[in-house]
Amino acid sequence: MLSPYHPAPSECPICKQSAGFSFKENFKSDSSWSLYECGACAVQFWLPLVLPQGVTYEEEVAYQGKGEVLTKDHARAIAEGYWNVRQFLQGPLAADPNTKGKKLLDIGCGTGEFLFVARELGYSAYGIDFNRHAVAFARERLGLEGATVADVYEYLSTRPRQYDLITAFEVIEHVPDPGAFLDLARESLAHNGILVISTPNRDRYWGRIDPKVDTWDYPYQHLTRWNPKSLKNFAERRGFVTRAFRRELPVEWFIGKLKQAAGIIMGKPRPHDARTVSERVRGGVGFSRYQLIKRVVVALCGIPAGVLFLLGFEGIHMYAVFQKKR
C-alpha cells in the first residue's frame, strides 16, 4: 500500500466532523497532494487544501480560444454547447414566464456566454469571476455590464437575500471551503431562492476504474471530488432541498474515443480536443455548419452513450437544482 504524502487530518476540512478518512491516491506536479474521502460527508478532498496561486491559475483559464467566435450572434449557440447550460435551458428555470425583474447571479461567469443567455431570458443578470481578462471580454464583447471581477466570499458576504437565482457551473470543486461557499450562497438568496450547481461526477466511467485518465481532475485546478450522493447530502445539510438532479450520459467520452480511433486508423493519433473552437471554425467549416455538425454528432452518439449509461458508465458532469429551505 502506497503511503500518503500528507497524513489524514483530525477533522474533515469540508464538513468539520471527525469520522475517519480513507486515503485514495497521491498526486505530484510542481507540488505534492494526497486525496482523502471523509467517512461522514463522503466528499473527497486534496491535502493541502489551499487556494491555488491566483496568477498561475488565471493564465490557465482558456478563454482566448473562444475569442474569435464568441460574439453576440454566437453566444447562445456556444452556451448551448455546454451540457450544464443545456440542462438549465431545457428545464423549468428557463421556461419561467416571470423572469422579468428576477435577479440572477452567475458565479464563475467567465467570458459570459451563460450570462448573455440569462439576460435574453429576461433575468437581471449579474456575474462574478476572478479572471479579469474574461470579465473584460464579457463586458466589452457581449455588453454584459453586470459582469464584475470579484472574490466570491467578499462579494456574497455583502449581499444578503439579494438573488432569486444563483448559478455556479463548475465552481464548487475549485473552492477550498465548499461549506462556507454554500452558506454564503444560501444567505445571498431571497426567500425560496434557487441554487444551481454543476460539477464533475467522480462516479463517472473510468473514474471508478482508473481516475488518472482524467488529468484535468487534479489540483491545483480541482480541490474536491463529488458524486451525486455527497453533493445532495452536503447541500441538504446546509439548508437546501434538492429539486432536480441530472447525471450526464457519456456522450463526450464516446466522441473522444471515436476521435482517438479515427486518429489511429488515419495514422494521426492526437490528443482529444487539441484544437480550440475558433481553430476548428477557422479551419473552413464556418460557425453555423460547425454547430450543426456538432449537434448531429452529439445526437447520434447519444444512442450508444445511453446504452453505456444503463450499463453504469456515467458521463463527466452532474447538475443539481437546490432550493433554499425556509
In one-letter notation, the amino acid at residue 248 is E
Q: Which residues pair with 124 in a beta bridge?
A: 103
CB of 49 to Zn ion, least distance (A): 12
Residue bearing cell 432569486: 164
Which set of grid coordinates corresponds to residue 192?
Answer: 425560496
The residue within the footprint of Zn ion, chosen from 14, 77, 156, 308 (CB under 5 A), is 14
CB of 37 to Zn ion, least distance (A): 9
**Is 12 among the residues that bind Zn ion (CB under 5 A)?**
yes
The residue within the footprint of Zn ion, chosen from 33, 34, 37, 38 (CB under 5 A), is 38
Which of 45, 205 has the CB closer to Zn ion?
Answer: 45
The pairing of strands 147-149 and 124-129 is parallel
CB of 12 to Zn ion, least distance (A): 3
Which of 219, 250 has the CB closer to Zn ion?
Answer: 219
**Is 15 among the residues that bind Zn ion (CB under 5 A)?**
yes
Of 7-15, 52-60, 223-231, 248-256, the segment contacting Zn ion by CB under 5 A is 7-15
Of 11-19, 117-125, 191-199, 237-245, the segment contacting Zn ion by CB under 5 A is 11-19
CB of 225 to Zn ion, least distance (A): 12
CB of 8 to Zn ion, least distance (A): 12
Which set of grid coordinates corresponds to residue 131?
Answer: 479572471
CB of 19 to Zn ion, least distance (A): 7
CB of 15 to Zn ion, least distance (A): 3
The residue within the footprint of Zn ion, chosen from 9, 23, 25, 40 (CB under 5 A), is 40
CB neighbour list of residue 117: distance below 8 Å, 6 or more residues apart? 75, 76, 79, 85, 89
Residue bearing cell 425560496: 192
Which set of grid coordinates corresponds to residue 294?
Answer: 456538432
Of 38-46, 77-85, 221-229, 243-251, the segment contacting Zn ion by CB under 5 A is 38-46
CB of 192 to Zn ion, least distance (A): 28
Of 15-23, 104-112, 215-223, 295-303, the segment contacting Zn ion by CB under 5 A is 15-23
Alpha helices in the chain (DSSP H): 54-60, 75-80, 83-89, 92-95, 113-120, 132-142, 152-157, 178-188, 228-237, 251-265, 277-280, 287-310
Which set of grid coordinates corresponds to residue 137?
Answer: 471580454
Phi, psi dihedral angles at 209 (to 5 degrees): -95, -50
What number of chain residues touch Zn ion (CB under 5 A)? 6
**Is 41 among the residues that bind Zn ion (CB under 5 A)?**
yes
Which of 12, 175 has the CB closer to Zn ion?
Answer: 12
Which of 13, 146 has the CB closer to Zn ion?
Answer: 13
Cα 170 to Cα 12, 83, 109, 177, distances in angstroms: 22, 11, 10, 15
Count Cβ atoms below 10 Å from residue 109 Cβ, excluding itself.
29
How many residues would you count in the chain? 326
Please report, as ranges, the residues that interact with Zn ion according to CB under 5 A.
12, 14-15, 38, 40-41
